[in-house]
Amino acid sequence: MLPNHSPTGFCWGYGGSGPAQLALAILLEHFHGDQERALALYQDFKWKVIAGLPQDQDFVLTDEQVESVISEIDIERMKRG
């Protein structure tokens, strides 16, 4: 079952529940519904991308940008062992 971190919706620009929900939704879309992969990465994705976005501005993330961050996360995890 997928977590519902934020019953009030998506947010960005900090590290709370709304950004966690947004990160999970973006990764679910990117992975075409692969819950296991999205759940494994969404917290790291939140901190690397979503938490740093300006709160007072809309934004666009391309598939290429999302994939680039996923690759960074995977590399960092491999280095940690």
DSSP 28-42: HHHTTT-HHHHHHHH
pLDDT tens readout for residues 17-61: 999 999 999 999 999 999 999 999 999 999 999 999 999 999 999
Distance CA 21, CA 6 (A): 6
Over residues 60-65, the mean pLDDT reads: 96
pLDDT of residue 55: 93
Instruction: Please determine, for residue 1, whether its predicted confidence score (pLDDT) is greater than 80.
Output: no
- The distance in angstroms from the start CA to the end CA of the chain is 28
CB atoms within 10 A of CB 66: 17
